[in-house]
Amino acid sequence: MKLDLGVTRCGGTEFRWGERTYIMGIVNLTPDSFSGDGLGGDLDAALEQARRFVEEGADIIDVGGESTRPQFEPISVEEEMGRVLPFIERFAREAAVPISIDTCRSEVARRALDVGAVMVNDVWGLQRDPKLADVAAERGVPIVIASNQRETAYDEIVPEVIASLQRGIRLLSDAGVAWENIILDPGIGFGKTVEGNLELMRRLGELKALGRPVLLGTSRKSVIGHVLDLPADQRLEGTAATVALGIANGADIVRVHDVLAMVRVSRMTDAIVRVG
């Protein structure tokens, strides 16, 4: 039986889950992105990239100012805001698609929403700053929470991911976040072994039991590099395989660096797996 996930409103856009896969294009305003696409403080380059992503079919632009790679160097709140706020303020004036702020800090999220963002994406799943739940509730915006095991030991990855997402859902619900505004991310690459990532991809469909849409972020991740023995800038085909199989296993949004190619992969996969 097809699961009805309802409709999520994000700014002026409605996401009708199950009808098609939505594409989230990544804009990294960091100098040290794992994927080699960090734009640092080059605002013009970031705006040009975001415009190109929209032309190529992106449904959401996700902007981040702090690296999330392993062993990243944390930056101050002020530095993070200095990287992302000028971009959001400028792009929001012309954007035909929603802007998501990729941050684990409530202060950054609040200011980003002030200047034009309409979604929050927390790769730490409220572990670093539970007040993000309050921000999402107060503003009535969708929030993505990821299952992040970087500071957690686990024995079996799928039960651990499900349990951590259930904890996040409870925090969001207790804060007053609307059910339709909760989006779940299994957190591929965040504190998981290669085998754990592959097992999670195989069993991605089990997350559907949680009753919320799933965002999948495999683009250029190290698990692809490990399997194919390739650097980040040569992982397009590996990413395409994970996107296609992820959609077949229930992903509703895919977060990607290579928008045009993944739009094509998603449309073809949707034509096969989304029937009726």
Q: Which of 130, 41, 24 has the alpha carbon at shortest distance from 84?
A: 41
The residue type of 76 is S
The dihedral over CA atoms of 95, 98, 103, 106, expressed in degrees to the nearest 10, equals 100
Q: Residue 127 phi/psi, 5° resolution?
A: -70, -35
CB 219 within 8 A of CB 35: yes
In the set 139, 192, 221, 235, the catalytic residue is 221
| Pairing mode of beta strands 253-256, 13-16 | unpaired
In the set 2, 255, 267, 274, the catalytic residue is 255
251: burial class by Cβ within 10 Å (0-12, 13-18, 19+)? buried
Alpha helices for the chain (secondary structure H) = 43-56, 77-92, 106-115, 131-139, 157-175, 194-202, 222-228, 236-248, 259-273
| Pairing mode of beta strands 13-16, 22-28 | unpaired
The dihedral over CA atoms of 125, 252, 120, 88, expressed in degrees to the nearest 10, equals 140
Dihedral sign (CA 71, 77, 78, 82) = positive
Token digits of residue 148: 């992040």
Whole-angstrom distance, CA of residue 51 vs CA of residue 63: 13
Residue 208: active-site member: no
Residue 93: active-site member: no
Distance of CA 65 to the CA centre of its chain: 14
Q: Which residues are catalytic?
A: 221, 255
